[in-house]
Chain A
Amino acid sequence: MWFLSSSLIVLSIAIICVALYFLIRNKSNKFKTIFWYVLIGCFFAIVVVRIFKLDVFDHIVKFNYPQFGSKLRVTMLNILRGVSSLSILLITAQPFIKNKTVRDIMLLFCAPVAVLNIIFFKANVECITGVLEAKPFCYQAITLSIQLSIELVIYFYLIFILKHKFNFKENIKLFFFNFFACLFALLLLMMPLHNPQQLFGMLSDINVEFLTFGQHIWIAVTLLFMLLIHLIFRNKNEDIRNSVIVFLALACFYQFNLYYTSIEIPLHNLPFHMCNLATILIPISIITKSKKLFSFNLYVNVVGAFIAILLPDNDSGLISYSFLKFAYEHTLVFAIPLLAVSLRVMPRGSFKQLLNGIALFTVYFVLMIILNTWLYNYDAGVNFFYLNDEFLAQMLPIFRITRQVTFKFTIGSLSFKLYPVFYLLMYFGFIAFMFVAHWIYKEVYKNMDYKENLRKEYMLKKLDRVELLKALDGRPESEPVNYKEGYMLNISHFSKTYDGAKVKAVDDFSLEVKEGEVFGFLGANGAGKSTTIKTIIGILPFEEGKIEIGGFDIKTQSLEAKKLIGYVPDNHSVYESLTGRQYVNYIAELYNVDPQEAEERLVELAEKFNLTKAIDNQIKTYSHGMKQKITIISALIHNPKLWILDEPLTGLDPQSSFEVKEYMREHAQKGNTVFFSSHVIEVVEKICDRVAIINNGVCQGVYDLKQLKKENKSLEQIFLEKTKRK
């Protein structure tokens, strides 16, 4: 009779396949795809029916029940069982993923296993029913045969109708690497949870209670698992990332529910515990991409699973079936929503999603109160979300106290007992945890964005370096990349936009400043002078354009470029705790100036700027003008090739102003360059050789002052014309 039933299965498969081939092969692709989904739908339906029928396989076989044969036979049946679960996962995942490797696995691995299941059909039915010499046409046999038939028809459809092509012709090594890596990972994911216990025992001396070594291992494995998935798949394409999350979600569903009904379902075993429900809700939200439902997963299920991991309600051994089922479910419920966000399959948590999560949690909580109190009348073990028993009270004394307050009433023959204070504490406590989770998510997202920005910066810097080496063309990096004879400062197409600003602070600015000249930089307040200067000296970063000082690029050869610059800022800031001498010596040390030379120059400049008496006073006792002078002295102490001053004469007395202007000319005459910004035209006219005018971030022109004098043109007129407000 068994041979007859197996033959019937084979025959029915053959007939269906042939019929399909002739009926569908000439239909449109759209029709073929729809029919494909229908087939998968039928397969899923029969799997669901089988889940909710009596299936004692794991209840009996997992304990190596001797009447089912030798250890080898039982082990083989377990392996078949595990791989069959894998087939179920791969087939039902098909509508949601587009991954060729998975189809290769289905055809090359799962199809032969399906054939083996037909060959060992009798043994399978015996294991499912738990009865030796089961009837060949019993309900379980019929449903199993339908499932196997549809499965093989699906494989046939895949090869002959959808014409799946294997990839190994392109790159056989890569093909086999992907194939076996995927297969290994998926087998691990869908491994029957009773197998480790069967093979290694329960390891009950390592139990998994709060703060035990076993719990440490569990937590470490969870974190490692999440880290590995994130690291391996974070840079893969969207299809692969999506496939990973879909597989995890479906595996979570199957691994919990496939083993669910090994015996009849009592009320207390209904999947209403938060994490039990999560195994159903998570696949739905991932597949349908429902943000509202996902908010429940991200904020409620993750928190619930975390608490379960922290306070496990399981005292079995480390690899017992009971613990593995508990751990698998809670680890995946905790990990999947987080991985879905980190792999960018689902959107990040936001405050709105948190509020959604709170709303859905409220609904769930109220439902559980109702179910617990109502179903308690029929089954004293009902305890959804731990609202009914003393587990939490044993863990934390505050729960014990609040459970003393009760409220009872009856409706007909049903009695209802409520713990209002306990419920309130649980509810608000959980919501507080959700807020904490939201805060943690925000911090993690900030960190992730930061790492991503770092990675981009790293790539940019790498590119810059490559360009630098190319430009140097074998020369050492200490040499200028683009030295132009006679020119000290070269700015080309420089633009700068501040964060959050819509308008550019400086736009396409180009300038060349020669050696030995005093160059003025004129502009109204807010024109972009300080921005340009700060970028030249390296305070502000920029993305567009190039700035070279003495041939050194300020971006890629910043240290060499900065050694040539002496800068006088507009804010006259100095270290006020130091004396004038200490401050200048410090600057001299930074620029590696010879001590003797530095001392001589300091004495000379202090005398010149009338600071000799105050040089050993703390700078905090200096007036505004004295601070300006000490800044000027410190900028000159290393005799810079490019002396940049930003509004240098502000706050100086007439004598000191005169001295500074004189020194600027002197410094330029030694072959150095002076670049200074001002909005006082008279000063610029007197001492500069050339002038650039900037307005609204755009260079309005560069003017040779000698030429202007020859042509009898007024710099003031030109300035007013160029900076006229429109």
Chain B
Amino acid sequence: MDAKKKSAIRESFSRIQKLIKLQFAEKFTLFKTGNKRSLIYSILFKLFGFVIGTIALYFVLKFFRDSAGFSLNEGVLGGILFLLCLVCFLSTISRVFKNLYNVKDNQFLFTLPVTSNEVFVSKIVITFMQEIITAILLSLTFQTAFSLVAGGMLYPVFNTSSFSYVFMVLFTTFILPIMIVLLATLISIPVVLLIKFIKKHTVAVIISLIIILSLSLLAFSLIVNLVVVNISLVGQWFTLSFKLQTAFDNFAKNSWIFMTLANMYNGVGIVWGTLVIFAITIILFFATYYIMKPFYFKISVTENIKQKNVMNTKSSKQCKTVFGALIKKNIQMLWQNPSQFFSFFTILIIMPFIILLVDKFFNALYLRDLGYELLFGSNLAMISIFALMGNIYSGTGVSQEGSNYYLLKSGPVSYYKQGLSKVLINFVISVFFIIVSSFIACITTKITFVQGIIIILCASVLSLSHILYSYSYDFAYPFVSWYDSSQFQKSKNIGRTITIGLVWGIIYGAFTIKFIYLAPPSRALIYMIIIPFVFLVFAIRSFYLKLKYHTAKI
């Protein structure tokens, strides 16, 4: 290679390095806190999460091994590696879409003195770094737990202190994700082109939606029908365990790739195997690079051009009241931006499906009397948990306004009306899905109509409390940016709303089940109904106080 070419390559690498540094600083905020203590806390918290995850998985695997004689052999390892790879692959696909195509920084990066290929390579590296974090959370946690249960002197299948085992753990956590990222990138090309084609033609959009919906419903009904009748968990435990073991063994027979990978943990073919994987990865890299070369720039640039969408809005009537105007505006925004609607209410939308699946399972169980009582409590707990987790709309009620936040403060409307308009919409949608879920619970199981009404009442009141509390918290601590209305998607209030909803839901669910189990039915019922109203009182007070006295500053 002549000197000029060498120098060009060297410069190209240097540019790629700089692009990576630029994007790394933007996407990885762990080291940005500027505060040593926050950084330590953040790292400790992540480590703590890793430890807790490992411990939890350890006990799950140990339970399977000890209670049902489940054998944690190469077949199981291979099968679970396959599942992990599948999960990582699916998450990588969405990440690839987000990082490569649907990202605003493309508009900026392409104006820099770099080639589009260099931008592409830097994005692949960044995606790979993000994938490492996922791999550590999932793969390393599982493999650590697996090695504690299945390895060492206690269990002779794996010698987890051997070089090959440790090497393979690190290899699958840190090197295998490269292959996954490259595969996902390759697959994304035809998918993106297909989506672009579909978007241009309305008929294609409609047909695609019908196909996706039908496939989802079909898959769901298949899963539901898999639940057999008369499950006796205790009686059929060993049968279930045997079936699972057989499934893993069959997988082991039919999946040469993952079995080879699992055998490498025991040192079998580790050298050749590693070399082959490296070779495949390198080939994949060059294949992706050269296939992507003619496409990437065109695809990523045209993603940012919005399609025009003419609407017939001349006939829309004006509202007589300000509150009505606020409701109308919020509904219009949800209706005319379906992706936002789904992102706000996904958890509520999937709630009835989950309830159907779980109740089908419960229905198939052989229950004794207490089991029937707990069925009511369990449904109440589940519906409450989902209803509470699904209040992202109110939990980002102010943050989602983004740079339009000024209207909230400069408009001649009281904060209460503005808040209540968001609260009402969230509440109505929540109640709708609560009713649907309760109805499903009633027809799928032996829950009575009265019990169904109690579920609707308790879950709705609890949901309303959480909605009021979440909105008032977001009002007090909004995540708004004066110049960028999309920043709210990074708002910590989203995670906070879901987490607090989950915690409230679990606490209420635990109390419900405890009361049913330990207290007389009448007292249990009183407690179950009183607790949501107590929450409601506190939530109303929080809402009133925060909106009256807490004027957020931007």
Which residues from chain A sit less than 8 Å from chain B, CB to CB?
211, 351, 454, 457-458, 461, 498-499, 534, 537-541, 559-560, 562-563, 565, 567, 569, 571, 573-579, 581-582, 585-586, 588-592, 595, 598, 616-618, 620-621
What is the chain B residue whose CB lies nearest that of A615?
B313
Q: How far is the CA of A595 from the CA of B306 in the complex (A)?
A: 31
**A488 to B: closest C-beta gap in Å:** 16
A621–B407 alpha-carbon span in the complex (Å): 21
- Choose from A538, A560, A581, A590 the contact partner of B314 (Cβ within 8 Å): A581
A457 touches B329 (CB 8 A): no
Chain A proximity mask over B312-354: 1 for CB below 8 Å, otherwise 0: 1110101100101110110011001100100000000000000
**26 cross-chain CB contacts under 8 A:** A457-B549, A461-B549, A537-B410, A539-B406, A540-B553, A540-B554, A541-B553, A559-B413, A571-B482, A571-B483, A573-B402, A573-B403, A573-B404, A573-B482, A573-B485, A575-B329, A577-B332, A577-B336, A577-B337, A579-B313, A581-B313, A581-B314, A582-B332, A589-B322, A591-B411, A618-B308
Q: How far is the CB of B474 from chain A (nearest CB, A)?
A: 15
Is there an interface contact between A571 and B403, defined as CB atoms closer than 8 Å?
yes
Answer whether residue B193 sits at the interface, using C-beta atoms and an 8 A cutoff: no
A/B pair count, beta carbons within 8 Å:
112
Assembled-state Cα–Cα distance A374/B234 (Å): 47
Give Cα A595–Cα B407 distance, bound, in whole angstroms: 20
Interface size on B, residues (CB 8 A): 46
Other-chain contact of B310, A351, A589, A617 (Cβ < 8 Å)? A617
19 more A-B contacts (CB under 8 A) besides A457-B549, A537-B409, A590-B411? A211-B514, A498-B553, A537-B406, A538-B410, A541-B551, A559-B414, A573-B402, A574-B404, A575-B329, A575-B404, A576-B485, A577-B337, A577-B340, A578-B333, A582-B313, A589-B324, A616-B311, A618-B336, A621-B308
The 4 closest A-B pairs by CB, nearest first: A589-B325, A573-B403, A577-B337, A562-B412
Contact A539 B313, beta carbon cutoff 8 Å: no
B518 within 8 Å of A by Cβ?
yes
Q: In this complex, what residue of B is CB-closest to A622? A: B306
Contact of B412 among A458, A559, A571, A579 (CB under 8 A): A559
| Distance in angstroms between the alpha carbons of A589 and B421 in the assembled complex | 14
Across-interface contacts of B309 in A (CB, < 8 A): 617-618, 621
B6 within 8 Å of A by Cβ?
Answer: no
Measured CB to CB, the closest approach of chain B to A217, in angstroms, equals 14
| Complex: A588 Cα to B485 Cα, angstroms | 22
* B 508-525 binary contact with A (CB < 8 Å = 1; else 0): 000000100010000000
Q: Is B545 an interface residue (CB 8 A)?
A: yes
Complex: how many Å from CA A539 to CA B324?
23
B37 at the interface (CB under 8 A from A): yes
Chain B residues in 8 Å Cβ range of A569: 406
Q: A565-B410, A577-B336 are in contact. Are A616 and B404 (CB under 8 A)?
A: no
**A458 and B340 in contact (CB under 8 A), knowing A582-B316, A588-B318?**
no
A458 vs B318: C-alpha distance when bound (angstroms): 37
A539 near B322 (CB under 8 angstroms)?
Answer: no
CA distance A565 to B319 in the complex (A): 21
What B residues does A571 contact at CB under 8 A? 403, 482-483
Complex Cα distance, B414 from A284, in Å, reads 53
Residues in B whose Cβ lies below 8 Å from that of A351: 37
Most buried by A among B336, B485, B550: B336
A579, B414: Cα distance in complex, Å: 25
Whether B325 pairs with A590 at a CB distance below 8 angstroms is yes
CA–CA, A5 to B118, complex, Å? 104
Question: In the bound complex, do residue A578 and residue B312 qualify as a contact, i.e. CB atoms below 8 Å apart?
Answer: no
* CB under 8 Å from chain A, chain B span 472-520: 482-483, 485, 514, 518
Q: B residues 48-94 with Cβ under 8 Å of A? A: none
Residues of B with C-beta under 8 A to A576: 485
Evaluate contact between A578 and B332: CB separation under 8 angstroms. yes
Q: In the bound complex, how far is the Cα of B306 from the Cα of A454, in angstroms?
A: 45
CA distance A667 to B410 in the complex (A): 20
Identify which of B326, B407, B485, B553 gathers the most chain A CB atoms within 10 Å of its CB.
Answer: B407
Contact yes or no, B553 A499, CB < 8 A = yes
Q: Which residues of A contact B411 (CB under 8 A)?
A: 562, 590-591
A211 in complex: contacting residue of B322, B325, B518, B545, CB < 8 Å: B518
Shortest C-beta distance, B540 to chain A (Å), equals 15
Shortest distance from the beta carbon of A19 to any chain B beta carbon, whole Å: 62
By beta carbon, the residue of chain A nearest B483 is A571
A541 / chain B contacts, CB cutoff of 8 Å: 551, 553
A538 and B414 CA atoms in complex are apart in Å by 12
Indicate if the CB atoms of B308 and A617 lie closer than 8 Å.
Answer: yes
Contact of A592 among B322, B326, B482, B518 (CB under 8 A): B322
Q: With A579-B311, A581-B313, A618-B336 given, is the CB distance from A573 to B406 under 8 Å?
A: yes
Contact of B319 among A567, A581, A589, A620 (CB under 8 A): A589
